[in-house]
Structure 1
C-alpha cells in the first residue's frame, strides 16, 4: 500500500467512532481484571451483548491478541443479527470501526479500508450529511459503558455520554441505567473528595421505574437510600430484588454490602458465600468477605472486654485470606492492599504489613485521594504499630502536601495536628515539632498561625535555614 493511501487510511480511521478513538488508556486499568469482568457480564446478563463483545475485542487488542479480538467482533456481529435484524448498519458502526483499526494494526490495510468504506456508506444512508461520523444515541451509550469500565477518571465523560444519548431517547431504560450508574459512581467518588452531594437518587429511581427487572440498579438505589438514613426504604428494594434474582452475583454482592453496613454481618456473609459459589474468582466478593470478617473482629473487640484469643486469631486469619486472594488476583485493587496491610498489623505480622504497604505504593493508577488514604494508613501503621512518631508525622505531611481536598486529606490533617499538639503539650515539643506545625498551618492556609510556629521553631534552632526561609516567605506573602 502506498504511503499516501496509508496516510489517508489512518486519517479516516481517526474519524471513526469506536473504542480506538475514545482515548481509553490501558495504563488506567488492570486488563486481566477487566477481561474477567466482561466475561462474567456476558455470562450473567441476559441482554444483547454487542457492547460487551466490542469492548472485549479492544481489551484483547491491548493485550496483543488481535486474532482473539477479531473473534469477539464476529460475536458482536452475530448478536446484532440476532437481536436487531432490521437495524444491522445502525447497530454495527462501532463494531466495523473496531474491525478497521484491528486490521490496520495487523498490517492488513485492504481489509481495514473495506471496513472504513462500510462505515462511510452506512453513515451516508443513515444521515444525508455525515461521512464517517454520525451522532447516534446507541453510540453515545456504548462509549459511556466503555468509559465506566475504565475507572474513576472516566466517570464524568461517561455521564456526559449518557446525557447525550438521553437527549434523543429520554425514556430508554438502558440509557437511564447507564446515566444512573455514572452518577452513583461519581457521587461515591465525590464523597471521598469531601463534597456533599445527593444527585444520583432521582436518576436511580427513574432507572428502576423504567426497568423494574434490573436488580443491579435496585441494589444501588438501596445503598443510596441507606447513605441517606432511609434504611427501611432501602431494604424493601433489596428484598424485592432478592425475590427476582436470588442467584445473580452482581446483585448479591451489593445486597451483602447493604447488610454489612447495616450491622447484620452474618447475613451478609451468607449472601456472599452464595454468590461465591457462582463466581468463585470474583475479587469484589472476596474483598467484601474480608471486610465482613474484619467487621466481626471489631465487633468482638468492642463488645467483649477480654475476647477469646482463638476467635480473634481466626477472624484475622479469615480476613487476611480473603484480602490476599484479592491482591494476588487484582494487583491494582488499592483498597484491598491497604486492608491487607492493616490486617497483618492487627495480627502483629509487621514485615508482611510493610510488604503489603510497599506494594500499594507501587500501584501506578492511584488518584490523589487514594494516595492521601495510603499515606494516612501508613502513618497510622508507623505510629500505632511501629511506635515511630517521627515516621508517622512524615507520612501524614505527605498526605497533606497533596492539595486535593478529600476525606483522606482531612484524616491526615487531624491525625497530624493531634500528634504534634500532644507532643508540645507534654513538653516533648522541639524545634522540629514547631517547624512541622508551622508547615501544617501553612498547608492549611493559616498563615498567622504558621508564622507563630516558625518563630517558636527558630527560637529553639536559630540557624535553621528551612525555618528562616519559610518565615521570610510567609511574612512577604502577608505584606504583599
Structure 2
C-alpha cells in the first residue's frame, strides 16, 4: 500500500469508536497494574460482557508492544461475543473490529486493517447507520465507560458521561446501570471529596442497579458501603450479608466486605476476609492497601487502649503496637512494589514510617510522591497536609509545617484536605499568639488564610496587626498592598 493510501487508511481509522480513539493515555496510569487487574477479571469476573475485558487487554498489549498477544485477546473477545450474542445482532463486534483494524495498521498489514474497516461498514449498513452515527450505540458508549473506569480515576467524569449516553439509548440495561451507579459512587468519594446525604446521587442509582442485577454481589457491596457512608450501617450490613451469601469466594466482593468491616470497627473480621482474598490474588494493590490500613487502625486502637488502661505488661503492649506498624509498612511497601503511582499508598507509607521513627524514609517518601507527574489538586493538597503534620508533630518544626500547610491552601481547589491545611495553619497561628500576644508571625498566618479565601477586610486587619510588631516585613507589606488594591 502506498504512503498516500496508508494516510487515507489512518484517516478512516481515526473515525472508528474503539480503544485507540478514546484517548486512553499510558502516562495516566501504570500499565502493569492495569494488566494485572484485567487478568484477574478474566478469571473471576462473571458477566455476559466479558468480551470488553479482552478488548481492553488487547489495547494494553499494544501499549506494551506485544501485538501477537493483542490479536489473541481480540480473538478471545470474539468468542465471548459469540457465546452471549442472544439477540443475533453484530453491534457488539464494532469495538473489537475497530481494535483489530488499528492493531493490523500498526503491524503495517494494511490490507487486513482495511478488511476490518469493511466489516464495520457492513455492520453499520445492517443497522442502517452511517459511519459517523455508529457511535450512537449503547454498547459502544457502555464499553467506553467501563474502559475509562478501568484505566484510571482521572477518567471517571468522562466515564460518567459515557454511561449517561448509553442509558439514554438503553435505559433498562443492567450492565450500564451498574456502570453508571459505580462511577457516580466513586466520584462522590474520589480523592477525599465529601458528599452529604442531601448531595448524594449514587444511592438511588445503586439501589436501581441492584434491582436490575439482583445477582450482582459487587454492586450490593457498593450499596452497603454507601449506606455506611450515610450513617446507615445497619441497613448496609444486610446487603453485605446477602452479597457474601451469593458469592462467598469472589475476591472483588471480599475486598469491599473487608472495607465495610474495617470502617465499622471490626478490624479483625476485615483482616480475616482480606487474607482470604490475598491468597487468591497475591499481587492485588487494593488488597495490600486495605490490609495495611487495617493494621494502621489496629495500631490506633491499641494506642487508645494504652492511654486509657493501666497495663501491667506495658512492654508487651508496646511490642504489639510496633508489630502493627511493621505489618502496615510491609503491605504499603508491597502496594508500591506493584504500583508506583498509587498516591494514597505513598502517603500512608510515609505516615507509618513516621510512627516507626524512620524519619528519613518519611521525608524520602513524601518527596518521591510529589515528583509523580500529573498529580491532581486534591492529591497535592493531601500530600502537603500529611507532610505538614509530619513536620509539626514528629519533627517539631513549625516553620516546615507552615510551609506545607501554605502550599496546600494555595491550591484553590475546594476539598477537605485544603480545609485541614487551613485548620493546621490557623491552629499554629493562634497558639503562637496565645504564647506571645506580640507574635507577628501568628497574625501573619491568620492574614494569609483570610487572603487566600478572598476575605479581604479580615485579611487586612490581621496583616496590619502583624506589621504592628514586625513593621519592615516585606511579605506582609506586599500582601497588604495587594489587598488594599482589591478594595
Pick the TM interval, shorter chain: over 0.9
Mapping of residues 170-185 of structure 1, within 5 Å? 170-185=171-186
Q: Is 1:58–1:98's contact at 8 Å kept on the other side of the alignment?
A: yes
Give the counterpart of 1:236 among 211, 235, 238. Answer: 238
- 1:148 paired residue number: 149
Aligned pairs, how many? 478
* Deviation (angstroms), 1:193: 5.4
- 1:319 paired residue number: 328
Q: Is 1:80–1:88's contact at 8 Å kept on the other side of the alignment?
A: no
* Deviation (angstroms), 1:153: 2.3
- 1:43 paired residue number: 43
* Deviation (angstroms), 1:89: 2.9
- C-alpha distance in 1 between matches for 2:6 and 2:457: 64
* Deviation (angstroms), 1:337: 0.9
Q: Is 2:104–2:110's contact at 8 Å kept on the other side of the alignment?
A: yes
* Deviation (angstroms), 1:435: 3.1
Q: Is 1:124–1:131's contact at 8 Å kept on the other side of the alignment?
A: no
Query: Which string of whole-angstrom CA distances, capped at 9 and with x for unpartnered residues, describes residues 253-275 of structure 1?
Result: 10011011111111111111111
Task: Find out whether 1:78 has 2:87 as its counterpart.
Answer: no
- C-alpha distance in 1 between matches for 2:349 and 2:301: 18
- C-alpha distance in 2 between matches for 1:355 and 1:463: 36
* Deviation (angstroms), 1:415: 0.6
* Deviation (angstroms), 1:293: 1.0
Q: Is 2:259–2:290's contact at 8 Å kept on the other side of the alignment?
A: yes
Query: Which string of whole-angstrom CA distances, capped at 9 and with x for unpartnered residues, describes residues 354-404 of structure 1?
Result: 222122212224221111010000000001111100000000000000000
* Deviation (angstroms), 1:467: 2.4
- 1:213 paired residue number: 215
- 2:410 paired residue number: 401
- C-alpha distance in 2 between matches for 1:134 and 1:187: 28
Provide the TM-score with structure 2 as the length reference: 0.94
Task: After superposing the two structures, state which structure 1 stretch, 344-353 or 249-258, moved more.
Answer: 344-353
* Deviation (angstroms), 1:101: 1.2
* Deviation (angstroms), 1:476: 1.4
* Deviation (angstroms), 1:205: 0.8
Mapping of residues 75-224 of structure 1, within 5 Å? 75-84=76-85, 87=88, 89-130=90-131, 133-189=134-190, 192=193, 197-224=199-226
Give the counterpart of 1:349 among 355, 358, 382. Answer: 358
Task: Find out whether 1:358 has 2:380 as its counterpart.
Answer: no
- 1:426 paired residue number: 435
Query: Which string of whole-angstrom CA distances, capped at 9 and with x for unpartnered residues, describes residues 410-445 of structure 1?
Result: 000101000111112201864444333322210011
- Residues 220 and 60 of structure 1: CA distance in aligned 2, closer, same or farther (over 3 Å): same
Q: Is 1:194–1:407's contact at 8 Å kept on the other side of the alignment?
A: no
- 1:20 paired residue number: 20
* Deviation (angstroms), 1:11: 1.4
* Deviation (angstroms), 1:455: 2.0
- Residues 204 and 464 of structure 1: CA distance in aligned 2, closer, same or farther (over 3 Å): same
- Residues 255 and 3 of structure 1: CA distance in aligned 2, closer, same or farther (over 3 Å): same
Provide the TM-score with structure 1 as the length reference: 0.95
| Structure 1 spans left out of the alignment, 5+ residues | none
